Amino acid sequence: MTQETEFDRLLADKHISQAAFQHKTDWVFDLDNTIYPAASSLFPRVAERMTLFICEELGLNAEDAAALKTRLFRTYGTTMHGLMKEYNMTPDAFLAFVHEIDLSDVSEDAELDRLLGQLGGRKHIYTNGTVRHAERILEAFGIRQHFDHIFDIVASDHIPKPNPAPYDIFLAQTGIQPEQAVMIEDMARNLEPAAKLGMGTIWLVSDHDWAHKGASEDYVHFIAEDVKHCLTALSNAG
Ligand SMILES: [Mg+2]
């Protein structure tokens, strides 16, 4: 079976259905590669600054720093978590540096603004990044006003998704009832703890990486191509 056929089958099987979302009151969006498509150039800018930070802090050349970044990300879920575990780094300087990306070429997105406005209920951001990063991205796209809580890696005690611990902190801090909430993410495995807590889940393909780990698991309830397709399907469902 070709990748495209497999993707089409997954998308058809888990196409957003009306009934599933009728009584939902809270929409929990991941930020990076979810609010904007993975194919955009934005997240690579963060990754580039991670490499630069590692070069400077550990005195490595760019190639070794990039390899270390990738290994730490794969082992620990985030590069920062790996730097804390293996190099005893404190997270603040890393988080501040890597998220200070150039957004001068990002313009407001009227369609995204309209689609978010059509979706009833409260909207939140749950990110492995920082509040400042989330606010800069949301403001650049002109959609900051749609979101209530922004829950970040600092609020998570620096424990990244998909570790289940910060999901509990998130629900406790926000008072969101999991049965009435839906989580929307580009990393399928980050949806597993949400589904276990009783939340609905939507995985965004966002690029051609259809075989993303966990995408065919039962904890992925629905699939959409990207955030705009998702919001369009949800507003049609309402
Ligand atoms: Mg993401």
Summarised one tens digit per residue, pLDDT across range 127-167 is 999 999 999 999 999 999 999 999 999 999 999 999 999 99
Which chain residues have CB less than 5 Å from ligand 1, an ion?
30, 32-34, 186
* Distance (Å) from CA 129 to ligand 1 centroid: 9
Instruction: Please say if the pLDDT value at position 51 is more than 90.
Output: yes
End-of-domain residue from the set 98, 124, 140: 98
Rounded distance from Cα 2 to ligand 1 centre (Å)? 26
Q: How far is the CA of 56 from the centre of ligand 1 (A)?
A: 26
Q: What is the pLDDT of residue 3?
A: 60
Same domain, 112 and 25: yes
In this structure, the answer to whether residues 77 and 190 fall within a common structural domain is no
Q: What is the CA(226)–ligand 1 centre distance, in A?
A: 12
| 174 CA → ligand 1 middle, Å | 20
- What is the distance, to the nearest Å, from the Cα of residue 173 to the centroid of all Cα atoms in its chain? 19
In this prediction, residue 237 carries a pLDDT of 54
Higher pLDDT, 19 or 134: 134
Whether residues 54 and 159 fall in one domain: no
In this structure, the chain runs to a length of 238
Specify whether 210 is located in the same domain as 133. yes
**Residue 209 pLDDT greater than 70, yes or no:** no
One domain, residues 143 and 171: yes
Q: In which domain, by residue range, is 140 found? A: 3-38+106-237
pLDDT at 211: 47
| pTM of the complete model | 0.92
Give the Å distance between the CA of 75 and the centre of ligand 1: 17
Is residue 8 domain-shared with residue 126, that is, in the same domain? yes
User: What span, in angstroms and rounded, lies between the C-alpha atoms of 172 and 76?
Assistant: 25
Same domain for 222 and 162: yes
| Tens-digit pLDDT profile for residues 83-121 | 999 999 999 999 999 999 999 999 999 999 999 999 999
pLDDT at 238 over 50: no
* CATH number of the domain within which 80 lies: 1.10.150
First to last CA, the chain: 35
| 55 Cα: distance to centroid of ligand 1 (angstroms) | 24
Q: Which residues touch 41 (CB under 8 Å, ≥6 apart)?
A: none
State in Å: Cα 34 to ligand 1 middle.
Answer: 5
Q: How far is CA 192 from CA 3, 18, 83, in A?
A: 23, 22, 25
- Edge-to-edge strand order for the sheet containing 181-185? 147-151, 122-126, 26-29, 181-185, 200-204, 222-224
Nearest CA to 231 out of 204, 198, 196 is that of 204
Tell me the CATH number at 126: 3.40.50.1000
Mean pLDDT for the chain overall:
91
Given a cut of 80, is residue 1 above it in pLDDT? no
Q: How far is the CA of 205 from the centre of ligand 1 (A)?
A: 11
Q: How far away, in angstroms, is 88 Cα from ligand 1 center?
A: 25
- Compute the distance from residue 60 Cα to the ligand 1 centre, in Å: 27
Q: For the chain, how many structural domains are there in total?
A: 2
* pLDDT average, residue stretch 198-224: 84
